[in-house]
Amino acid sequence: MTTTSQPQPGASVVSAGELISTNPATGEEVARLPVSSAADVKAAVARARAASDWWAQLSWRERRRRLLRWRSLLVQRMQSLAELMHREGGKPVDEALLEIVSAVDHAAWAAKQARKVLGRRRVPGSLMQLEYAGYLEYQPYGVIGVIGPWNFPIFTPFGSIAYALAAGNAVVFKPSEYTPAIGQFYVDAFNEVVPEHPVLQIVHGGGEVGAALCRSGVDKLAFTGSGPTGAKVMAACAESLTPVLIECGGKDAMIVADDADVAKAAETAAWGANFNAGQACVGIERAYVHAKVYDDFVAKLVAETERIDTDTQVGPITMPGQRDIIARHIDSALADGGRALLGGPDSVRGAYVRPTILVDVPHDSAAVREETFGPTIVVTKVASNDEAVTLANDSAYGLGSSVFSKGQGMAIAARLRTGMTAVNSAFAFAVLPELPFGGVGQSGFGRIHGHDGLKEFARAKSIAKRRMPSTPALLTFRRTPAGMKLAMAAVKFLHGRSR
Ligand code: NAD
């Protein structure tokens, strides 16, 4: 974040206590929002604490009703929200609309499923302790801090915000400094449907405001962003033993097996590598392609990618500094012996980067090892599907992955060391609300979405209730020798026999 008053396109600027967001394509100002001080963040968390008591004691039904109303309001206003996303983040309007659709679908799922997943239920007891009945429920933490990135400014934060709210928590949200107005838009809409108490609040600013949120006394912090920032968030939260959910970057691979539908694989790779200008944690940045179909795949990928209109379908690079990283990866891939079949060093022009296809790039090149976060893909020929799996798994990251195969898709998917895999598709795991979303290794830990995503924002509360007198009574100093004998006979009968 800069503090000058002449930003380059996309920069976010602080001036006189205001955060100014700008259009990444034109540099035009989009919004001004007040920057929160550390004291403001603490005050927001204190207000959230009081609001969380009220929200948590509402019935499941009432919370569901409010969340579904919020979802409907956003759908009614989705065209304006998509246009704002286009202006502030650069995302093409169609992609923004699809992002909103997925976010509201998740919000509705979380609202409808929360009671079933988290509500109190009777659990089976034990033959050794027949006198006790077990009950399990998942109670809200209280106040959840959410720190979001700019690349999916509604879909990604919703994975935490909507699920945390559905679980009965209040939320204090710090959106990315590059997309503050988008966050403000949906927080304001929530406050129309929950006007009584500040159950969902927003605080604005850069990293220092995120750091203040980590130290503000929230009961859990859900972070989505880059690995280096994730490490800082963990360190800050460790000071107060605040638990964290960490969703970081990726270097997703697509495997194109010998029996793949090559045309579909190429069409999907062209989209998976270039949608949102490649600024997607689950964008396809690598492809490992069986030698039998390699030439066909590469020819089709080039043809598919040539059809893409950079200005209207790819969009600008949102963060000015990212263009240098993309350029460095392309340059080093070529310096390391790679070739550009499309695009190349000249692709990085102004706010836009033209799609680039790289081949023959060594496995240790930055373009293969590091997250590029741009519209580039490195395609590598492999001798077997096994080699494809080995190379795909040889990454510090492990977020999403994609497999194209007519007969072996599920088997290959199971062998990939990633949190999620799409078979004969890309990204699809993110839009099925039942499926947990998250990674392994440098991609982070914990899960948003699905049952696991709801449980991420609640703690298990176990209750064992006596339902009859104990015979024999064991959990007392008044136990008798006869009772002990009976218990030992029972344990030998139940657990002591070899089978
Ligand atoms: P970033 O790490 O620069 O910033 C993320 C957020 O952290 C921003 O709101 C920022 O203000 C805040 N922040 C910065 N310094 C902080 C600090 N010291 N303490 C607390 N908060 C701080 O990431 P970004 O550029 O906004 O987002 C891009 C990254 O996010 C990419 O690596 C991408 O892969 C990743 N991402 C991951 C997922 C996922 O679900 N795994 C989804 C979207 C994006």
Query: For the chain, which domains are there?
Result: 35-249+451-458 (3.40.605.10), 252-396+400-435 (3.40.309.10)
Name the residue type at position 248.
C
Ligand 1 centre distance from Cα of residue 343 (Å): 28
pLDDT > 90 in the chain, percent: 93
Tell me the one-letter amino acid at 61.
R
Residue 43: partners with Cβ closer than 8 Å, 6 or more residues away: none
| Selection from 298, 274, 284, 277 nearest residue 403 by Cα | 284
Name the residue with the closest Cα to ligand 1, atom 9: 176
What does R_g of the chain's alpha carbons equal in angstroms? 26
% of the chain at pLDDT higher than 70 = 98
Q: Which of 6-15, 227-236, 332-341, 435-444 has the lowest mean pLDDT?
A: 6-15
Q: Tell me which of 382 and 14 has the higher pLDDT.
A: 382
- pLDDT given at position 4: 42
pLDDT digits (tens, 9 = 90+) for 462-490: 999 999 998 889 999 999 999 999 999 99
Confidence band, pLDDT 50/70/90 cuts, at residue 9: low
Residues 412-438, mean pLDDT to the nearest whole number: 97
Q: What is the pLDDT of residue 350?
A: 86
pLDDT of residue 13: 79
* CB 409 within 8 Å of CB 423: yes
The tens digit of pLDDT for each residue in 24-54 reads 999 999 999 999 999 999 999 999 999 999 9
Model confidence over 246-280: pLDDT tens digits?
A: 999 999 999 999 999 999 999 999 999 999 999 99
Q: For ligand 1, atom 14, name the residue with the nearest CA.
A: 207
Residue with CA at minimum distance from ligand 1 atom 42: 281
**How much distance in Å is there from the Cα of 228 to the middle of ligand 1?**
9
At residue 16, the pLDDT reads 79
Residue at 349: amino acid letter: R
Check whether 313 has a pLDDT greater than 50.
Answer: yes
Ligand 1 atom nearest residue 147's Cα: 9
Residue 46: name the closest of 232, 170, 211, 207 by CA.
170
Look-up: residue for tokens 């080995």? Answer: 390
Ligand 1 centroid distance, CA of 225 (Å) = 2
What is the rounded average pLDDT of the residues 294-319? 96
pLDDT (tens digit, 9 = 90+) per residue, 445-460?
999 999 999 999 999 9
Distance from the alpha carbon of residue 251 to the mean position of ligand 1, in angstroms: 15
Reported confidence tier of residue 151, pLDDT bands at 50, 70, 90: very high
DSSP helix/strand/coil, 358: strand
**CA-CA distance, 337 to 149, in Å (whole number)?**
34
214, 237, 248, 281: the catalytic one is: 281
Q: Is 214 in the pocket of ligand 1 (CB under 6 A)?
A: yes
What does the pLDDT read at residue 10? 66
Q: Average model confidence (pLDDT) for the chain? A: 96
Q: How far apart are CA 19 and CA 111, in angstroms?
A: 32
Give me the DSSP letters along 274-339. HGGGG--TT-EEEEEEEHHHHHHHHHHHHHHHHT--IIIII---SSTTHHHHHHHHHHHHHHTT-E
Q: Quote the CA–CA distance of 252 and 416 in Å, as a whole number.
A: 11
Q: Does the annotation mark 281 as catalytic? A: yes
CA of 229 to the centre of ligand 1 (A): 6
Q: How far is CA 492 from CA 127, 474, 495, 497, 498, in A?
A: 13, 16, 5, 7, 10
pLDDT, tens digit, for every residue of 199-254? 999 999 999 999 999 999 999 999 999 999 999 999 999 999 999 999 999 999 99
> Ligand 1 atom closest to Cα of 439?
41
21 φ, ψ to 5°? Answer: -100, 150
Residue from 99, 218, 281, 395 to probe ligand 1 pocket by mutation (most atoms less than 8 Å from CB): 281
Does the CB atom of residue 147 touch ligand 1 within 6 A?
yes
